[in-house]
Structure 1
Amino acid sequence: MAGTKRFSLLDAILNMICVVFVAEAAAPAAAIGNSQYFWWLMLIITFLLPYGMIVSELGSTYPDDEGGVYDWVKRAFGKRVAGFVAWSYWVNFPLWMASLALVFPDTIGTLMGIQLGSVPSLAIELAFIWTVVFVSFSKASDAAWLVNVGAVLKVGIAIVLGVLGFMYMSQHGNANAGDISTYLPNLADTSSLTYLSIILFNFMGFEVLATYTDEMDEPQRQIPQAIVYAGAAIAVVYLVSAFGIGVAIPVADLTVDSGISDALSVMVGTASPIFVVVSVVFLLTLIGNMVSWSLGVNTVAAKSAEDHNLPGFMGHKDPKTGMPNGASLTNGVVASILCAVSVFTGFDFWVLFAAQIVFLLLAYVPMFPAFLSLRASDPDTRRPFKVPGKGAVLKVITYLPVALLILSVIATCVPLSGEEVADKLPILALTIVLLAAGVSLMVVLNRQDPRPGDIVE
């Protein structure tokens, strides 16, 4: 239709940067210490490359699957397995939104030089949540400017951190200096292994692009191109930002929810205009990040609601825009409740953020074998992009990421030593409760659904 906004290749690349590069996750990754650089490079090779290639093939082969990972798993294994994906994929979002909401009052309080009370903090958290909800009512092409600005601002933060890191190190040395052995992984240090899930989480989100196919002119070509270009840029940006934080703050003093502010305060001081500007920009990028993820998550939730895997009200779409506003409103309500409950339960940023990571990683586990299943069961469909390799090579490309996902989930929520019990028990408890809730909900809803959970033909 003439005059209709379209989602260009540049929009797609910037959207991927905004979705996949998560500024708030740079600090937990830096908490690994000097060995983070080893893990970044190793996981880029063993996870990011296979994941990017598989999503490129699935997204370009099935461009009409607006539900992305949900539709791909449904094609391969039916709607019951896809229901698990939908629940995990959806529930991560309000957890994530609530965790980021908790960052806002602390950052604003630091900028103002005051300690905000519970009521003002909750008001700020709710303002953040519902700003994201209302912006997410807009179509991706209409909100592309916000996402594009968010991507540029995120890259700007990373560059500033990297440049300041080099300047700081040249004058004061590396806060985490050590011999070559400190740059190698210490598998006996289970507490640092917990943060490996952060690096995997930092790579997630390429499949969100598949939810924009109806607004692209050539999705078969644009999806692989955007993933390749954005993936290369994101890998560099992450390494630069991780370096900037790592050289300024000793690992023992690094806090996972305010690592960027901590690093900046050491390098330039809290009174510096650089500190103020970057802190404000950081808060703005959190809004852009949530908006860029919202369409993918809400589309999956709406499709799952149509299949009776999620409540019907989550499938409501605006009659004018076609946007899944029911899922978006549900996100806002759940995230608001989590923030209110955190006042009494003591759930902090890390508990909600870690639980969110667990569910997001779990949502991807069935996607990889679904790719292999569709390659075998649907060989005649044209594949504009095809993952290279066959036989054993293709199985390694498929199942190595699955093993990494499962190990990361375990390392995040299961205490691997006595010292971790106090920190991980709340995460494990929240994970178990939400998993039980998801399974119970699907059992009840599927009893009301007369359609079988057949594999899509």
Structure 2
Amino acid sequence: MKEKKKFRLFDAVLMAVVVILVVESAAPAAAVGSSQFFWWGILLVLFFLPYGLISAELGTTYTGDGGIYDWVKMAFGRRWGARVAWFYWINFPIWMASLAVLFTEVMVQIFNLTVSTPVLVGIQLLFIWIVTIISCYPVSDSKWILNLAAFAKVAIMVCLGVLGIYHAVTKGMANDFSGRALLPTFDLKSLSFISVILFNFLGFEVVTTLADDMENPKKQIPQAIIYGGILIAFFYLFAAFGMGAAVPADQLSTSGGLIDSFILLVGGLNPFIVIIGLLFMYTLAANLISWALGVNYVAFYAAKNHDLPQVFAKENPKNEMPVGASMVNGIVASILVVAAPFIPNENIFWAFFALNVVALLVSYIMMFPAFLKLRKIDPDRERPFKVPGGPGLLKVIAYVPLVLLVVTLFFSVVPLSSEEMGEKVPILIGTIAATIIGEICIRLGDKKYKEKQQNEKIE
């Protein structure tokens, strides 16, 4: 008899760090200012820990291919499951467009280039379609991509933090890191960026898929949540400290802030900056490639169940990859980058990235009440990992992160002052458009489902 493969705690923690650590979101999070350290600590306890525990229970109990779509569908029915699948998917091509824009911005920055808009758009389209084509093959989940991306991410974060410490000791800090400065100000700008910190915590449900290969998932999964969460927060905060040492928070660019910080810390463009920039550019593609399979399979699985249009259900018969979802990703992202020069927003990366953050956060809202509902309607199901606590504590664990999601989404999307109109109105319009298109797609899928049922009855 073959000995069962063992997955070490170290492997689970590393997987959490690789999947969840997103380098390009370090600068938007750092734009909160010194109070981000307060928000990281609070949200680590009030959001990431309960989210991780709930993901662990649902991911190890309901192990189907649909993931979060399946959980919500079982709890609240097809329509809600379809909405979750739609927002979980639509965030991805928007994210792809934002990273394509950032890719060219970093390229121009590190090589000090002057490039025309049509050429930039051409490079962005090339980036999108290279990622899209790779995502059509199993190589999109290969170990070397994850390992190299992990090295690049950690190297960038550590270098930025170490240089920040050196700068602070030798030249002082660009921002105030005293006790009062660390307290939250609750100003509209800071609250708008809190959603990015929540975004930085998402993705842990991917780690729960490893439960079958763990020696003791009941013990190892919560340990991976805690250790992984602490490491992720450490790397983000270490990098944020480096940026805080170099650039005043009110002058920090959400797109070029990371490279700007390196340039200021080392005194100008040099080969080191080029290497960091190239590593950063690689992580942008690697992030998309490593997430593509999971996102595409949710859309594929939902389409197979007639909850999304059938274009998402197309697969390559040779390798069973969801090529329909991949191709739609590339088409939507391409339309966005071609339209980008005509969008009235100076920071187009942030416009797309913020919309991507909003879409992804929306897809997680129903997960928390679904957890409570499944506990109620399916109490006898074997749960390899079970969130500890009685009914009262479980409600707190589910509703606190839910409220945090809703509140941060409100501050991210709704313009509450005239100064925010130019930045938030495109995000609000994009969110409304994504919702309307999603409802149309869901109704089309529902129509096909009813037609199929009717045909089966006739036969």
Normalising by the residue count of structure 2, what TM-score does the alignment of the two structures yield? 0.92
Map residues 38-57 of structure 1 onto 2, 5 A cutoff: 38-57=38-57
CA–CA distance in structure 1, aligned partners of residues 268 and 293 of structure 2: 36
CA–CA distance in structure 1, aligned partners of residues 146 and 8 of structure 2: 13
Structure 1, residues 241-284: CA drift from partner, whole Å, max 9, x if none? Answer: 11111221101211101110110011013323321111110010
Say whether the 8 Å CA contact 2:141–2:293 is kept in structure 1: no
Say whether the 8 Å CA contact 1:102–1:349 is kept in structure 2: yes
Map residues 257-336 of structure 1 onto 2, 5 A cutoff: 257-336=255-334
Answering whether residue 214 of structure 2 is matched by residue 206 of structure 1, we say no
- 1:224 is displaced (CA, Å) by 5.5
CA–CA distance in structure 1, aligned partners of residues 383 and 285 of structure 2: 35
The aligned length equals 445
2:162 corresponding residue in structure 1: 163
Q: Given the superposition, is the C-alpha separation of residues 281 and 99 from structure 1 closer, same or farther in structure 2, using an over 3 Å criterion?
A: same
- 1:338 is displaced (CA, Å) by 0.5
Gaps (5+ residues) in structure 1?
453-457
CA–CA distance in structure 1, aligned partners of residues 167 and 447 of structure 2: 61
What amino acid is aligned across from residue 325 of structure 1 in structure 2?
Answer: V
1:115 corresponding residue in structure 2: 114
1:19 corresponding residue in structure 2: 19
What amino acid is aligned across from residue 243 of structure 2 in structure 1?
Answer: I
Answering whether residue 355 of structure 2 is matched by residue 355 of structure 1, we say yes
1:246 corresponding residue in structure 2: 244
CA–CA distance in structure 1, aligned partners of residues 293 and 359 of structure 2: 18
Answering whether residue 349 of structure 2 is matched by residue 369 of structure 1, we say no
2:151 corresponding residue in structure 1: 152
CA–CA distance in structure 2, aligned partners of residues 287 and 277 of structure 1: 16
SS in 2 for 1:379: coil
Say whether the 8 Å CA contact 1:22–1:202 is kept in structure 2: yes
CA–CA distance in structure 2, aligned partners of residues 223 and 120 of structure 1: 47
CA–CA distance in structure 2, aligned partners of residues 336 and 263 of structure 1: 30
SS in 2 for 1:320: coil
Greater CA drift, 68-77 or 15-24 = 15-24
CA–CA distance in structure 1, aligned partners of residues 9 and 141 of structure 2: 15
SS in 2 for 1:449: helix
Answering whether residue 430 of structure 2 is matched by residue 426 of structure 1, we say no
2:404 corresponding residue in structure 1: 404
- 1:116 is displaced (CA, Å) by 1.3
Structure 1, residues 107-139: CA drift from partner, whole Å, max 9, x if none? Answer: 111222122111221121112111211222233
1:455 corresponding residue in structure 2: none
Answering whether residue 346 of structure 2 is matched by residue 342 of structure 1, we say no
Q: Given the superposition, is the C-alpha separation of residues 57 and 392 from structure 1 closer, same or farther in structure 2, using an over 3 Å criterion?
A: same
What amino acid is aligned across from residue 330 of structure 2 in structure 1?
Answer: G
Structure 1, residues 182-207: CA drift from partner, whole Å, max 9, x if none? Answer: 211112x1111100000000001112
What amino acid is aligned across from residue 239 of structure 2 in structure 1?
Answer: S
2:456 corresponding residue in structure 1: none
Structure 1, residues 281-304: CA drift from partner, whole Å, max 9, x if none? Answer: 001011111111111110110011
- 1:442 is displaced (CA, Å) by 1.2
Q: Given the superposition, is the C-alpha separation of residues 415 and 294 from structure 1 closer, same or farther in structure 2, using an over 3 Å criterion?
A: same
Greater CA drift, 174-183 or 112-121 = 174-183
- CA RMSD across the alignment: 2.3
Give the share of equivalent positions with the same residue, in percent: 45
Greater CA drift, 313-322 or 134-143 = 134-143
- 1:211 is displaced (CA, Å) by 6.2
Say whether the 8 Å CA contact 2:153–2:280 is kept in structure 1: yes
